[in-house]
Amino acid sequence: MPFVCVFHGGRVHRSKPTVKNTIRTQGVIPLFKRRQWPQWQKLCPDMRSSHNVWLKQHREMLKDFTARGIIVREVEVDIDAYIFWASTRKLLLNGETRTLFAIHTLSHSRDDQSNN
């Protein structure tokens, strides 16, 4: 199924599916563990708010996408795995890269499930 890349801030990076009205648009939003939040704040300048503030914005974004008919998958992003993945690809550590990593994580979890 096609995905629309969605990251904190609500920007969309991939086009919607080309077959109109037959497939609902899907999105991926990274989810960050509270216990890793201080590490994320040190690493990413755009993650300076408290985890509670971020989580409130995250939930509002989920409601907004759902109201617009976008099926959203939350994907937990581990900071160490993210840093390793991004550095091996020489990617900037930013919101877009966090979303790309979430998509990568989701696609690999689906691959693992289909191999069982």
pLDDT at 45: 87
Count CB neighbours of 102 within 10 A.
Answer: 24
Alpha helices in the chain (DSSP H): 37-43, 51-67, 79-88, 95-114
pLDDT value at position 26?
A: 82
Token pair for 59:
């939930």
List pLDDT tens digits, range 44-95: 988 999 999 999 999 999 999 889 888 889 999 999 999 999 999 999 999 8
Residue 71: the pLDDT is 87
Summarised one tens digit per residue, pLDDT across range 91-103 is: 999 988 999 999 9
CA–CA dist 39, 116 (Å, integer):
34
| pTM recorded for the entire structure | 0.72
Which residues face 30 on adjacent strands?
75
Q: What is the pLDDT of residue 85?
A: 97
